[in-house]
Structure 1
Amino acid sequence: MDPALEKLVADRDEAGIERAFFEGGCKNLIAVDWRDEDDEIVSSCATCLNLPDLASRFEGRDLVITYAGRERRVSLKQDVGDRHLTICGINDAIAPGHELRFLVCSHGSDTIGLAALSTADWRSLEDRFPEAVSENFLDPRTLPNIINDLIDDHLPPEARARFDRMLARNSRKQ
């Protein structure tokens, strides 16, 4: 895990997490634009997690994600919501050793933020900083489609409060 991310979580530095994502500078954070190609998302995750055997290919309308000798087929609908399906498919493919989580600070943006860590790193953060993790990082598989269906009311209370604090901070800057 990038020590900078660990420090941001330990310090509950919400503004720092936002800067790390929106301005770059953290190797564990991935930006997914709603226009990205689904196989490019898989490649970005493979690079971020240093998983050279994480790959994908298209078979008709399906994206087939391969990792550690297993295949995960993702039936795409050929719309922007496919990014969510791909992200969830990647999570299923890389489990149980790794996990992608949705960055709450990217909610409402056309660029979705993901934090990519080993499962051991997630557990370590959750054990030491449970509030910071639950406020900032959500399993996208537990959410409605994060590209085109997620609304503020779908966020768990702690994540919603964190998102509202970000909005308040940003409105004061203007």
Structure 2
Amino acid sequence: MLPATVLTLLQVTDAEDAYQAIVDDEFVDEGQPCVFWVDWREDEQDIVLYVESILRTGSLHSEVVECGSELGYEMYISLFDRREQVPLVGDVADRHHALVTLNRILHPEHEIRWCVDSDGSDTLAFVVLPNSAWMEAEEQFPDAVRRRFGKIYGRPNLFTDSPSAIRASLNLSNGP
């Protein structure tokens, strides 16, 4: 079953209504929220905490380890027996790298996707759902899923690349 916020996003046609549905997710009384927000200045460890607060695995966490690298530290994300290093570069691009690494760790059970309607600000919204829910959404609303939720890949970087490059990668024109 799809969360109310996702169902609303898939059924509305107006971008403003879609954005409002994303914002309202924080205040949903029924069920568990599925939306989290990432500011371009966000700490990567906080992103992991946001996802864990939604999924409630009891195991998803991050760890920063001091080392002799150029940055002086490395970050790892762990879930149960899986552990992956986040390829940090020391700038705003790291928000995206953390999201990509999180998706690798969560796979195949869950997936994080970008809420396209949150574009236009330095804070972006993301939805994390079980893959079974994404498959259900794609079966029922294939065009709306493509317009409203962008899959997250290594490129383009959602925090550093131009909006036109991001939209081109999703095969979107000027707006959802």
Normalised-by-shorter TM-score class: 0.7 to 0.9
Instruction: Answer whether contact 1:81 1:148 (CA < 8 A) is retained.
Output: yes
Alpha carbons of structure 1 residues 122 and 157: separation in structure 2 relative to 1, 3 Å: same
Instruction: Between 144-153 and 9-18, report the one with greater CA deviation.
Output: 9-18
- The equivalent residue for 2:65 is 59
Pick the aligned partner of 1:82 from 76, 94, 99.
94
In the TM superposition, residue 155 of structure 1 has moved relative to its aligned partner by 1.4
Where does residue 106 of structure 2 map in the other structure?
A: 94
Instruction: Return the offset for 1:35.
Output: 1.1
**Match for residue 157 of structure 2 among 136, 145, 160:** 145
Q: Cα 1:107–1:41, aligned 2, differ >3 Å: closer, same or farther?
A: same
Secondary structure in 2 aligned to 1:85?
Answer: helix
Query: In the alignment, which residue of structure 2 is the partner of 1:32?
Result: 38
**Paired letter, 2:85:** R
| Contact 1:45 1:116 (C-alpha < 8 Å) held by counterparts | yes
2: CA distance, partners of 1:81 / 1:11: 31
CA distance, structure 1, for counterparts of residue 41 and residue 170 of structure 2: 29
Report the secondary structure of 1:160's partner residue: coil
Cα 1:128/1:12, change in 2 over 3 Å = farther
Counterpart CA distance in 1 for 2:35 and 2:4 is: 13
> C-alpha distance in 2, partners of 1:16/1:49?
26
C-alpha distance 158-12 of structure 1, shift in aligned 2 (>3 A): farther
Q: What code does the residue aligned with 1:86 have?
A: A
Question: 1:83 Cα deviation (Å)?
Answer: 0.2
Q: Hey, what's the Cα distance between the residues in 2 that align with 1:81 and 1:125? A: 29
User: What is the DSSP-based 3-state SS (H/G/I as helix, E as strand, rest coil) of the residue aligned with 1:9?
Assistant: helix
Task: Name the residue aligned to 2:69.
Answer: none
Deviation at 1:146, TM superposition (A): 0.6
- Calculate percent identity across the aligned residue pairs: 26
CA RMSD of aligned residues (A): 2.1
Structure 2 residue ranges without an equivalent (≥5): 67-72
Q: CA deviation at 1:52?
A: 1.9
Output the CA distance in 2 between the equivalents of 1:22 and 1:3.
13
One-letter amino acid matched to 1:108: G
Match of 2:16 in 1: 15
**SS of aligned partner of 1:141:** coil
Amino acid paired to 2:44? D
Q: Identify which of 113, 118, 123 aligns with 2:125.
A: 113
> Corresponding residue for 1:126?
138
CA deviation after TM superposition for structure 1 residue 69, in Å: 1.0
Distance 1:155 1:142, change over 3 A: farther
| Bigger fraction of residues in helix | 1
Q: CA deviation at 1:110?
A: 0.5
